Chain A
């Protein structure tokens, strides 16, 4: 029982990070219809910014917030400088450009921070004795903290999308850009904000992952792939789907490694691929993706 609880919490904590990253992908996809290949790398860059800031003496939480601002600016800049000018001329080329951004950011990180792994302090208490006991299972506080962050982010996003003017505009732009323009929404501004938001969330995910995974230039490669699977699994246009997809992957990872002897951690990607395939065969638009209903 206690082992089960431990695996459950670990799965949810890892899943929360995938969910955050998947959320970022979905926010961009809903507004622009693009899979942001650079999402993970912008997160990695943000995690290195956190490292630099904490080394200069700032508290970890403040460093993360500042790095999220950096992530916001970079991601917003990618939309404005790379995506939009290309999209007008050739929408198909955007995907290639984003792979270019992925490589560029990846190399920038190596240039500024080198290729050696470094540690990143945890924003939550993470000493040897920082755990609580739930149903007899020792659960690290930092793991619960990650799950808590996901819940807070979800709450804030829900409030923003449903209770604010800019959130309404973001939903409108995601649904119909032409009509958004016609009701007087500055679509360009909304797209920039959406991408920026995604960038900030991506940095948060990376900063939560780095303390346990170790901070290297390839920190977000695997998580980005898993988050992409999570987003597609949940339905690329559904924030709820992104979260559910992320948690499913986290839990699959934890339980598979824990309970299925012949499937090691290395088998996670093949297993996820099989799950993804089955889900998409049964529900082509993902678990929560909208099959557009429209009467004429």
Chain B
């Protein structure tokens, strides 16, 4: 049999995004192997969120291509799930937890049809996986930050995708939620899923993730944490904030 190159789960080539004349992301190449937990780290304004959004076709790209399991993202949309920053929506919207989770299935339910019992059961199972099953009927404005985050995770889980993109899921959550997210990420990896997480806490990168991408407009480095999460790369990524980088390097 002919040897066949195994496609990367995510293959980004020459991705460039500009707002006006200012490049936000410049010529990014990235291959993410299947079944890894990858952190995307970089200073504020490095383009981390924009990077996720451009992969998902949510912002206009000036150049570049994205392949998911070797095929264009547009064909693979159903295999990809997205967890936006929880601050990106209005949590006073009149709806409850179960309803938000079921939104993850709207793409599969089809036009005109309403989600029914099967969708409801799947949503409840997803809530169970994040420890929120008893909150199903809770109005979303009554959730704590950590609970909101777990509802967003459940909404992505219910899609039963192969690849997950999460934007700052650890931002401002309580210890219980942080623990729950970590367990969830590991469970996803066990099942062979690929997870890319925008992350802001450098200290926890080696503990939580096996792969890392250092980003600051350009891709500084990417690969297994042990190989690329070095003081030198961090210094390049974070520029002048050397003392900060040293502190992190010492801790890791």
A and B interact physically: no
- Give B contacts to A, CB under 8 Å: none
